Amino acid sequence: MKAVYFEKFGPPEVLELRDIDVPVPGDNEILIKVHATTVNAAECNGRGLTFVPPGLKWLARLMLGVNKPKINILGSSVSGVVEAVGKEVKTFKAGDEVYGSGPELGAYAEYVCSPADGTLVPKPSNLSHEETATLPYGAQTALFFLRDKGKIREGQKVLIRGASGDVGSAAIQLAKHFGAEVTGICSSAKIESVKALGADKVIDYTKEDFSQSGEQWDLILDTAVGKTSFKQAKKVLSPKGYYLAVAGGFRELLQMIWTSLLGGKKVAFGGGEDCESKENLNLLKDLAESGKLIATIDKTFPLEEIVEAHRYLESGKKKGNVVVKVV
């Protein structure tokens, strides 16, 4: 099968398309024929630490590999069709359409194996595989920060920095689903797309500093690396508001610990596998099938153009998701 392989950290060019053996599912695993996956910040970090804040690069290296990558095939999101199942698997069968996630999934390939009890569920019936592949990373991350970290409630005011990205575009829709009033921050070129997703207000960061707006928000979701700080955010946070640092660094980690001991404005930081669960995927499936969550795709690349896909994501020009079509 074709798979995108890399043996050293570096720029997009370290990714190479190779022929490798199709994996064989174990007794409690399923073999998935990959139809689509995505390129996101997690993959760029796994390949080149692109979006890892300076203060956490040492920790990222310990987790990802000190001298060389621990994982050689990236791709943490998948939408595809079950090709075969292990002899102990009862929950899936060949032909089932599924979607899911996992930090070691390896979906930059034509086939992947996944534990049958892993973060994998039936795909939304009304979405294509390309659309479905956008949900596991961006939407799960947004759900985790808004619902689990920020404790979002109906009637709250939510500010989203990076509102046009994969996490931000899902966050707008999820915040509206939870009954919040949403303000998005983006560049001039992306204002209309952010409005189209349901944002009540949009701030053009090239013309206006949100921290000087005089408004107050209950939750500030920051998805943009190095663009905002808690020092800025707390000027416009409500007295018990949360600054949700999706792309936080060592500074935000310390701030989270310190503010957790106090009764006022707080910093929340986390992510990774904490975001992922079958329950989350099933909720996103239900929202997608009811029309309350739409997939946002900027560009789609074939697997053979994975280097170009990574370059495009790192350019900062995307609106929504960058999808990789495998089949």
Given a cut of 80, whether residue 115 has pLDDT beyond it is yes
pLDDT of residue 45: 87
Per-residue model confidence (pLDDT) at position 231: 87
User: Can you tell me the distance from the alpha carbon of 119 to that of 136, in angstroms, rounded to the nearest whole number?
Assistant: 9
Q: Output the pLDDT for position 226.
A: 65
92 confidence band (pLDDT: 50, 70, 90) = very high
- All residues at 6 or more sequence positions from 209 whose CB lies less than 8 Å from its CB, including other chains: none
Q: Are strands 157-161 and 181-186 parallel, antiparallel or unpaired?
A: parallel
Q: Which domains does the chain have, with CATH numbers?
A: 2-134+295-325 (3.90.180.10), 137-273 (3.40.50.720)
Q: What does the pLDDT look like over 292-301, one tens digit per residue?
A: 999 999 999 9
In 10 A of CB 191, how many CB atoms?
17
Range of lowest pLDDT (23-37, 60-74, 77-91, 279-293): 60-74
Residue 159 burial (CB count, 10 A)? 30
- Amino acid 261: pLDDT: 83
User: Where does the pLDDT of residue 310 fall: very low under 50, low under 70, confident under 90, or very high at 90 and above?
Assistant: very high
Predicted model pTM: 0.93
Q: Which of 50-54, 84-88, 315-319 has the lowest mean pLDDT?
A: 50-54
d(CA 211, CA 203): 11
User: In this predicted structure, what is the pLDDT of residue 215?
Assistant: 94
Question: What pLDDT digit, counting tens, does each position of 264-287 carry?
Answer: 999 888 766 678 999 999 999 999
Give the mean model confidence (pLDDT) for residues 206-228: 90
Look at residue 271 in the predicted model and tell me its pLDDT: 66
- Average pLDDT, integer, range 223-238: 86
Average pLDDT over residues 37-55: 84
Give the CA distances from residue 154 to residues 37, 175, 197, 242, 246, in Å, rounded to whole numbers and listed in that order.
Answer: 33, 9, 18, 15, 22
The confidence score (pLDDT) of residue 54 equals 67
Indicate the average pLDDT of the chain: 93
